[in-house]
A and B are shown apart, each in its own frame.
Chain A
Amino acid sequence: MPLKSPDELEQLRTKILEERKAQGEKKGIVLCTGTGCRGAGASEVFDAFKKALGKKSAIEFKSTCCHGFCERGPITIVEPLGIFYQGVTPADVPQIIAETVTKGQVIEKLLYRDPATGQTIPTEKAIPFYTKQNRLVFGNNRHLDPTRIEDYMAMGGYKALVKALFHMSPEEVIEEIKRSGLRGRGGGGFPAGRKWESCRKAHGDIKYVICNCDEGDPGAYMDRSLMEGNPHSVLEGMLIGAYAIGSSEGYVYVRNEYPLAVENVGIAIEQATKMGLLGKDILGSGFDFSLVINKGGGAFVAGESSALMASIEGYVAEPRAKHIHMTESGLWERPTNLNNVETWANVPVIIEKGADWYASIGTQGSKGTKIFSLVGKINNTGLIEVPMGMTLREIVYDIGGGIPGGKRFKAVQTGGPSGGCIPESLLDLPVDFDELTKAGSMMGSGGMIVMDESTCMVDVAKYFMHFLKDESCGKCTSCRDGTLRMYEVLDAITKGKGKEGDIEFLEEIGWMTAEASLCALGGSAANPVLSTIRYFRDEYEAHISAKRCPAGVCTELITFTIDPKACIACGKCRKGCPTEAITGEKKVPHKIVQAKCIKCGTCREVCPSDAVKVA
């Protein structure tokens, strides 16, 4: 039965909480079955727990989505003690139930071991990866079964909606969002309150709100994990936004490659509709709002707001000129307010706790927290949420646990494929919208790819340019051909065919691509090239003038040799070589026949004595 008033909603919440209280401090198991943990085998662990516990177990078993520490998945937490187990396999399940759940004994081998101290850490709360974070938006994932609206209610869900609908005017809601300083988390960083305000003021009886979940940056998955793990927080944010703007219809645009996100937001919409939190006369307020899911076909450029709207309309996802703002003429030429998943999920937090509280977190120009996906050459791969203004050093070393294999940090690429690379000298940069832009990169949607000394920066620029030339919609000559030509020049440089003047040529193409293209994809497409030239010009010069790749990556510029003094003649490289380019026998140091070598690097990987050298 749909709830007809805020009182009915509160009665339901009280009922849920009382039922849970009556059960006492129940022993429970929380298993992360988010995408990262599933990739590490969480589905099998889930089955094993289900089988071992049976149907009528007194132990509560909860399956949640992403907790963020994906490097260590599958993650299992045993309640009420909060014991944190990592890398759990189905074989560990009986022991976890018999020892930890039943007797409260900790299983040492499943605990997280801090690489810095060598000590095991039994609880989640004490792990450095988590202690430095401020998980305002993302933290609830760990407590929620995203397919159960009751879990969201138990955590105070839809309280912010009641506050907005019954205690605030639409203008007051907008004012609150404006005062909070919330800026769009999708990449542009436009103040959300100002966007809402201009959409509210736009003429038109039909207005739309859209949630952009077309996350396409390689390595970024925070929107996915929020949508999978806490879809109701996004719906609540959209409901509040729609009320403020005066919209009664909305779209959730989610890419079809995110099947779990599609499924979970679908379940959430169904549950919210059944409860009367979506649909006509929501909680008796007179406010109507309904939501439709639109599945995206996978074009990167569809994440650009005007391209996304074209896609919803049934056209090819191609950006349109925005000389008239989307807030005045967007989807089907009607006033439209589009925000990204994370932006929407911030809204209930702001309404509930207040703009002043929210604005106390972060920096002068960027308020609140930001979720980053920390990937690449870093010990603790995963999703992190930190206050704006935290330095890169804290993120990489304190939360990320530094660089694996004792290697040296080289750069961090932020902002997705059209972001930029930030060098070691800027590690103390406070991360917010404006500082990243000043450094020649951008916030983007929050991707952070860490690179170490074995990364070639020309090769990195080439990788991103390859991505962008494929993913440009192809409409503007400047972007389509600009990215293609930058890629060609970079490709030549990495193959030893670079010429004097290539760097200046790249700068010229990059300038034109950014200045002459229509949308933000073209506008920022040159960033990977320009930022690597800005900070790693010497690497470009080494490739061009000395025909040398300092990082030892570009195969056409390097040779593999075996140091006869270090070689222990074990034969592993000889057996591993796919082209039989290595000669040698027992007790005789091995040699590489250069004419046969394809520089695949297998010999270096398998060598136990580090005798294979690259130059």
Chain B
Amino acid sequence: MSHKKELIKFQIDGLTVEAEKGQMLLPAALEYGFEIPHLCYHEAVSPYGACRLCLVEVTKRGRTMMTTSCNYPVDAGLDVATNTENVQRARQMILELLLARAPHSEKIRAMARDAGVEETRFRVIEDADDCILCGLCERVCREVVGANALTFVNRGDRREVAPPFGDPIACIACGACVYVCPTDCIKMKEEGDERTIVRWKRTLKMQPCQSCGKPFAPVFQLNWIIERAQLPKDFYALCPVCRKTKKG
């Protein structure tokens, strides 16, 4: 049974646009080509609203408020302004804050430059590791992978993302967090038959391909997938390359 999607009309920067009622504002705006900077939003996971870069001004029933667009459900008759003076002012300062937290991130530097911010007036955080606490790694691990190997720990300025109780026991070293991290602060390395997710201190032995002998994925990860998907025990005997050649 499929429900008919209810399309509604509203305005973004003076242009009338259409979107499905209840859809989030940011993806709707991006689809129309509006440029709204964002760091903690990814289409594969639920919106979170942590980085605050995707701020816009929304006028609804005569009331204007600044809000993040990634988690704002669209409704008929909204009037959205993506680049007002207030939005720019707030965004610039947020970028200054992020620069002080992630001084090595080229992506944030570029975003800051685009917004007219060259330098941060804030003290760069000592031993800055570039994590901006956007939570994409935590969400992708929980919602997409299903491994639940990460969580937020502590609050306020002591907040960090870490494996629960400091033990990465649930991490399958799949690397989804590495891929999704916007500041590149989660690194993965492979040495010999071992794969390590550096940030979570997780090192796993990799399984060699029965055909070419090259280690291709952590044994722990493959068994985890086999168990959850109820696959045959020898499902991952071959590496993806050999599997293709064999099939081909």
Contacts and interface: CB of A to CB of B under 8 A. Distances in A.
A323 interface: yes
A316 B101 contact: no
Contacts of B63: none
B210 interface: no
Interface in B43-58: 48-53, 55
Given A477-B98, A516-B52, A484 B73 contact: no
Interface stretch (A6-14, A252-260, A466-474): A466-474
A508 interface: yes
Contact of A478 (B67, B94, B122): B94
Given A323-B73, A515-B66, A474 B157 contact: yes
Given A469-B156, A484-B157, A516-B90, A476 B49 contact: yes
A324 B73 contact: yes
Contact of A515 (B50, B72, B90): B90
A424 B97 CA distance: 36
A512 B90 contact: yes
Interface residues of A, number: 34
B97 A482 contact: yes
B154 interface: yes
A316 B152 contact: yes
A324 B21 CA distance: 13
Contacts of A316: 152
Contacts of A470: 155-158
B72 A477 contact: no
A316 B122 CA distance: 29
A445 interface: no
Contacts of A323: 67, 71-73
A332 interface: no
A477 B152 CA distance: 14
A369 interface: no
B189 interface: no
A517 interface: yes
Nearest to A317: B155
A135 interface: no
B185 to A, nearest CB: 15
A412 to B, nearest CB: 27
B243 interface: no
Contacts of A572: none
Contact of B72 (A321, A488, A512): A321
A299 interface: yes
B52 A469 contact: no
A474 B133 contact: yes
Given A484-B157, A485-B122, A516 B55 contact: yes
B86 interface: yes
A505 interface: yes
B68 interface: yes
A518 interface: yes
Contact of A481 (B49, B66, B101): B101
A516 B100 CA distance: 18
A477 B123 contact: no
Contacts of A485: 97, 122
B4 interface: no
A301 interface: yes
A474 B48 CA distance: 13
Contacts of A484: 156-157
Contact of A480 (B100, B121, B123, B157): B157
B55 to A, nearest CB: 6
Given A515-B66, A515-B86, A481 B159 contact: no
A478 B53 CA distance: 9
B132 interface: yes
Interface in B86-123: 86, 89-90, 93-94, 97-98, 100-101, 121-123
Contact of A509 (B50, B55, B93): B93
Interface string B194-224: 0000000000000000000000000000000
Contacts of B98: 477
A475 interface: yes
Interface string A42-70: 00000000000000000000000000000
A477 B52 contact: yes
A472 B159 CA distance: 10
Nearest to A481: B97
A483 B140 CA distance: 28
Interface in A477-501: 477-478, 480-485, 488
Listed residue (B53, B68, B156) with the most chain A CB atoms within 10 angstroms of its CB? B156
Nearest to B94: A477
Contacts of B90: 478, 512, 515-516
B155 A301 contact: yes
A518 B97 contact: no
Interface string A441-477: 0000000000000000000000000001111111111
Interface string A550-566: 00000000000000000
B155 A474 contact: yes
B214 to A, nearest CB: 42
Nearest to B92: A512
A516 to B, nearest CB: 5
A323 B51 CA distance: 18
A478 B71 contact: no
Contacts of A473: 155-156, 159
Contact of B157 (A324, A469, A476): A469
Contacts of A516: 52, 55, 66, 90, 94
Interface in A277-312: 299, 301
Interface in B123-161: 123, 132-133, 135, 152, 154-159
Contact of A488 (B123, B154, B156): B123
Contacts of A301: 155
A480 B156 contact: yes
Contact of B156 (A471, A509, A511, A512): A471
A474 B152 contact: yes
Contacts of B72: 321, 323
B155 A472 contact: yes
B135 to A, nearest CB: 8
A483 B159 CA distance: 13
Interface string A113-153: 00000000000000000000000000000000000000000
Contacts of A511: 89
Contacts of B55: 516
Contacts of B93: 508-509, 512
A227 B123 CA distance: 45
B121 to A, nearest CB: 7
Contacts of B121: 505
Among A469, A476, A482, chain B packs the most CB atoms within 10 A around the CB of: A476
Given A321-B72, A515-B90, A477 B155 contact: no
B51 A477 contact: yes
Q: A471, A472, A478, A483: which has the most chain B beta carbons within 10 Å?
A: A478
Contacts of A474: 133, 152, 154-159
A475 B139 CA distance: 13
24 contacts: A323-B71, A468-B156, A472-B157, A473-B156, A474-B133, A474-B154, A474-B157, A474-B159, A475-B48, A475-B49, A475-B159, A477-B94, A480-B133, A481-B157, A485-B97, A488-B122, A505-B121, A512-B89, A512-B94, A515-B90, A516-B52, A516-B66, A516-B90, A516-B94
By Cβ-Cβ distance, the 4 closest A-B pairs, closest first, are A474-B159, A481-B97, A512-B93, A484-B157
Given A512-B89, A518-B68, 4 more contacts: A316-B152, A323-B72, A505-B121, A516-B66
